[in-house]
Structure 1
Amino acid sequence: MPAFSLEPEQIAWCGELRTLAAEQLRPLAEKGEPGHVNRALVAELGRLGLLGRLFTSGALDLCLMRESLAYACTEAETALALQGLGAHPVHACGTPAQRDRWLPKVADGTAVAAFALTEPGAGSDAAALELRAEPDSGGSVTAEPDGPAGWRLTGEKCWISNAPEADFYTVFARTTPGAGARGVTAFLVPADRPGLTGTPLDMLSPHPIGALDFDAVPVTADDVLGEVDRGFRVAMGTLNQFRPSVGAFAVGMAQAALDATLAHTSRRDAFGGKLKDLQAVAHQVAEMALRTDAARLMVHAAATAYDEGAPDVPRRAAMAKLLATETAQYVVDRAVQLHGARALRRGHLLEHLYREVRAPRIYEGASEVQRGIIAKELYRDVEAVEESQ
């Protein structure tokens, strides 16, 4: 299927999701408390079968879900996305026992997942993680039956979505000091492990974000996701799938802001006519639409590349997230400007989007990091061509 064209069934499904989000999910979102997990909303996402689709759908379907939900209810979109981000490593790399215990609960909305990668001193440079996974009984830790197979996690994580209220965390810790990305291991850590505590952080965006403190938290070989010292692959594999859909979230917000602007400028009287009759306004609206559609196309192209197993997924995913999140920031800001002071009043759609749109330019790799990934991949291609000549 071409990335630039959706099937009629997909278009209809997106419309159904928008209606569902507006009529069933938004009322639950409005009853939630900002900064806390809205478990009623998560449970409804599970009841509707949307959480289960996280593990059966491809990257393009994930993008369509996230854009459609974001258009009508950003809280529902974020709740769905965080379940996927936290649980995807379990789905992709977990043992049968790990999958059987946690994935059905994630899918039905009775267990809340979280992805714990970022640290106070290791945000954009994820390979610089300092959370230590130290052998529990001394010596090297292995998964062999005749060797010790336990660690103690000591250190901090911060800016973790759904913390400290999640039921389990995908945690990335350093098992081999000084090894960079090659010495990181992914662990599945239930929230009730002794020594694991958390603190909520008061943030601009309304979804829950917190810090985690690990005070010699015990984990075993049964908690490892994937292979020891290969956890960075788990993290990057998850991010490569979810980065285009972060772009889809941004596109959904941009489209909502654009549609609100079209309605407002068509009705608003100004200077003897409607706002839309002013060329300066009409051209801004045209630019907003142009950038939104361009971002959507790049998101769909990146997701399709992921689904087809293309070799350039990291570059495409980075491009999609970068363009879409920067575009959404531009579109929402222009929408606020064209609405005037009314858009800054608490409770206005654009006031809500203005707070929501800022964070995606930072999380899952800041815009500057995406540019670095793109450049690295481009020069790698150049080097490959030169070596083959």
Structure 2
Amino acid sequence: MISAPLRIALLSYRSKPHSGGQGIYVRHLSRELARLGHHVEVFSGPPLPEINEDDGVGLTVLPSLDLYREPDPFRTPKIKEFRTSIDLLEWLSMCTGAFPEPLTFSLRAWRHLRARLAEFDVVHDNQCLGYGLLPLARTGTPVVATIHHPITVDRDLELAAAPDWKRRLSLRRWYAFTRMQGRVARRLGWLTTVSTAARDEITEAFGVPADRMRVIGVGVDVDVFSPRPGTPPVDGRIVTVASSDVPLKGLKELIEAVAKLRAERGVELVVVGSVRPDGPAAQAITRLGLDRSVRFVSGIPDEELADLFRSASVAVVPSKYEGFSLPAVEAMACGVPLVATTAGALPEVTGPDGLASLHVPPGDPGALASAIGRLLDDEGLRMTLGARGRERAVENFTWRRTAIRTAEWYTEAILEKKAGRTIADRRL
């Protein structure tokens, strides 16, 4: 345990609270660190995290132009919204097809924090990896960073699915920020990631030596995400979480699997998330005539998400890559039988095939349909996997465990910074 309270600046360039792992990570990690007695101030751009002041966590908003907000993404700001040169950089970058938020948030963080560094023992970046972190790292305060997974994985899958050269050119411009993230990651002294699979991917994509990264898994609230005895699931209901309609999440393949199952039995798919009207998932639903069999919900709090998981006969994670997968652990914590692909960290998180989930190859609708059908037909197997999943989640994936290990990592970074050790020293 940590002997003294730490003063922590936790940076998150966007922190959508109910979808996407980064916002969930910030909300729960900050709360659990505060419960351990540490002083935490979150610095975020929009969309903002849900921070409860009663938990002892502060929130400082670093305003951006919020160019991708709903319902008017890629909007043109009014002249009065431009307050600094960073705002102008953000807008001009968007106009050229780039995604500027990691860079511009890091510059705003540097501008704000450079006068306040004496107030903090450590600065913790959450996946931003923008150039503004580098001058912060050259101060006396250690700068540490979490990389959930390298966004190059998302880029490569989208490029592979692109229909033509124009789309590929647009994607390369959009994902140009990943080059910056690789450069910054190589220059920061302390990095963590959420699984060994993510660590290996970061090593390959960013050229960061594996021994420079600490693996600290994330968790769930096992009191909220818990079984509810006496509440039977809805027959044939399949639940999945897809924070975005991109090839990475494998939603199109799951929809194709549902079409195969519909030929034999009554099933419905509930997707936590939303899709683009012209995206691959929406096109698959229309092509396969599944408009009445697939339902979408979004923006729901944890309590409603837990209720939805508990209503499922089967939960599915069909992803083509996952650096960790909070939805898998949330389903397991609820005692819901799970089908997951073998992509990325999913076998690491769920355990060997048949322990807490059934495993299938990524990108294979037939294998998904077969595994889901097997569970729907075997109540005993569903109960066994559900019980094992709950046990595995409670033993390995709680936010308190994550917070304790993260605070220990902070302390190591602080001591090494005080001792003047460099990246080169730590590799000897």
TM tier relative to shorter chain: under 0.3
Higher helix fraction (1 or 2): 1
TM-score for both structures, normalised by structure 2: 0.25
Alignment TM-score, normalising by the size of structure 1? 0.27
